Structure 1
Amino acid sequence: MPFAVTDDGVRLHYEEAGSGTPVIFVHEFAGDHRSWETQMRHFCQRYRAITYGARGYPPSDVPEDPARYSQARAADDIASVLDHLKIAKAHVVGLSMGGFATLHFGFRHADRALSLTVAGCGYGAEKGQRDKFRAEADAIAAFLDQNGMTVFAEKYAYGPTRVQFENKDPRGFAEFKQQLSEHSALGARNTQLGVQRERPSLYDLVDQMKALTVPTLVLTGDEDWPCLQPGLLMKQTIPSAALSVMPNCGHTINLEDPDQFNLLVGNFITQVDAGRWPARDPRAMVASITGMK
């Protein structure tokens, strides 16, 4: 079983398939490296497709100290996997927690990113939701301590932005819930406390987003309510960003509608590789609605 080792000594399990330009997939809190199987099978036909388990997600290591989990560390762990594979640059695709890591990878390692796909990114990002989100992270950590992963999965899998997945694909949803139940309760707890709870609001990162020139695709489902306004913020603020909203979709969009997800990401990467991804025309950002005054 292959592992990459981070600069602080944490082993991250990874998988890869195919050859060509590298594309690395970064999973969400409720997923793991297995969540990207549909993407791995699709993209390995044309690219070197890579995925890995974040710290806290077996078979990757599960550090016991929550201080070893952070938003910056999550971004740097992407670089650690690329370093291990001797990859200078890659297309980076992340969902939710992985979308935040992907965005921060763009801030911290812009020279390593061919492109960024920031999907399902926004939970707790809005100013009025910060305290509520932090309190929910504390509640999740306590629930995991008291009840364990199996009981947690039965509750967490039915969140208001995940029921769409169950309605659309009951078999896929059952597999997702089963895999969630197999996670490390300690790893999930520490991820909530170190990464989720402490990450900065997107609304405090506007200056960094304005300076980001890496080609960026922002993806969200139209029923992923906490991500809609943050998605607009990223579109409006990142000068190289496009926004695509997937209809009748919740949060787990790569699993809920893999064909549409793969098409959107594949078309984006093709345009980037062809040198045809545009930066925003400044004429589109004037205050006038019609351009007449």
Structure 2
Amino acid sequence: MPYAQADGARLWYEEAGSGHPILFIHEFGADHRDWEDQMRFFAREYRCIAYSARGYPPSDVPTDPGLYGQDHAVADAAAVLRHLGIARAHVVGLSMGAFAALLFGLRHTGMATSLVLAGVGSGSPRAEQAAFRVACQARGERLAAEGWPGAMAEETGHSPTRIQLKKKDPRGWAAYMQRLSEHSGPGTGLTMQHYQGGRDSILDWEAALRGMPVPTLIAVGDEDTPCLETSLFLKSVLPNAGLWMCPRTGHAINLEEPAAFNREVAAFLSTVERGRWHLG
């Protein structure tokens, strides 16, 4: 198995295709496998890399809580690229992965050809942040104690921003639920407590975001309620960003509407590569 060494963990990755690199960073309720539709589509013209975050086998599952959090998530993305000898890449993230992609754009601006931020920003609005952090701590404790098979997976799969996948694509939802049940309870529990529940509000980065020049596509489903406010905020402050809202779609936008997602991302990447994204 191919691994990239990061601080305190080995990160398992897979790659396909050739061309300008795209790095895919998965959400909390996923792993590298949930990018399969994108890997197959974009590998026709790009070098595509997807990896599993620390805490998600076959990547390592550290037991030290200090080895989880937003700083590690950003450093891990850079570690994968450096391991592969990649100087610059398009970076595509969903939810937790989009948070890491955005912070990657701030901290490693020169390594990001562009950013795609899908389903980004839950827990960031001021009125929601305290309750979000409390909920993350409680859920992390449950995951560590119970694991995913059973109640935790069922609650996630039937939640208000994920039930859309089941309604649209029952077969795809069943495959998603199978993958979800295979995640590490301890690894995702620590991730939930120390990354999800310990991360900044994106709104705290406003000053830095206003100066970030990386071409950015913000993608959100119109039924992904926890991410709507932050997506609109990012559109208002990022100087080089566009917003795509997909109708009748929840949180896992790349799984729910893979054709639409791939089409919009492909058009964005093409426009960036032709130097036509910035309208200023």
The TM-score with structure 1 as length reference comes to: 0.94
The answer to whether the 8 Å contact 2:117/2:218 transfers is: yes
Distance 2:145 2:77 in 1: 31
Q: 2:95 maps to which residue?
A: 96
Provide the C-alpha distance between the structure 2 equivalents of 1:232 and 1:148, rounded to a whole number of angstroms: 34
- Summarize deviations over 1:123-162 as a string: whole Å, max 9, x none: 1010000111011101111211332221211222211100
Give matches, 1:238-277, under 5 Å.
Answer: 238-277=238-277
Q: Identical aligned pairs, as a percentage?
A: 50
1:70 aligned residue: 69
1:171-218 CA distances to partner (integer Å, 9 max, x unpaired)?
Answer: 101111110110000110010111100111111110111011000000
Do structure 1's residue 181 and structure 2's residue 181 form an aligned pair?
yes
Give 1:54's aligned residue.
53
Cα-to-partner distance string for 1:237-273 (whole Å, 9 max, x where unaligned): 0000100000110000000000000001000000111
User: How many aligned positions are there?
Assistant: 279
The amino acid across from 1:16 in the alignment is: E
| Residue aligning to 2:43 | 44
SS of aligned partner of 1:149: coil
Question: How many Å separate the matches in 2 of 1:235 and 1:224?
Answer: 16
Q: Per-residue CA shift, 1:87-133, capped at 9, x if unaligned?
A: 00000000000000000000110000000001100110100001110
Where do 1:1-293 residues align within 5 Å?
1-6=1-6, 8-151=7-150, 152-279=152-279, 281=280
In the alignment, the residues of structure 1 paired with residue 97 and residue 147 of structure 2 have an alpha-carbon distance, to the nearest angstrom, of: 23
Task: Tell me which amino acid in the other structure corresponds to 1:224.
Answer: D
Greater gyration radius: 1
Question: Which deviates further from its counterpart, 48-57 or 136-145?
Answer: 136-145
CA–CA distance in 2 between the matches of 1:117 and 1:10? 25
Tell me the SS of whatever aligns to 1:194: helix
Contact between 2:123 and 2:201, CA under 8 Å: does it hold in 1? yes
Using the TM superposition, name which of 25-34 and 145-154 deviates more.
145-154
1:161 aligned counterpart, secondary structure: coil
TM-score scaled by length of structure 2: 0.98
Query: What is the match of residue 285 of structure 1?
Result: none
Amino acid at match of 1:278: H
Map of 1:288 onto structure 2: none
RMSD: 0.8
- Alpha-carbon distance between aligned partners in 2 of 1:121 and 1:145, rounded to the nearest angstrom: 25
Q: State how far apart, in whole Å, the 1-side matches of 2:40 and 2:225 are.
A: 29
Which 4+ runs in 1 deviate beyond 4 A?
A: none
Deviating more after overlay: 146-155 vs 23-32: 146-155
Query: Structure 2 counterpart of 1:165, which letter?
Result: L
User: Quick one: distance in 2 between partners of 1:109 and 1:44?
Assistant: 24
Q: Which runs of 5+ in 1 are unaligned?
A: 282-293
Q: Point out where structure 2 has 5 or more consecutive residues left out of the alignment.
A: none
Q: Secondary structure of the equivalent of 2:77?
A: helix
Corresponding residue number in structure 2 for 1:286: none
Aligned mates of 2:15, 2:144 — CA distance in 1 = 33
The letter for the 2-side match of 1:233 is F
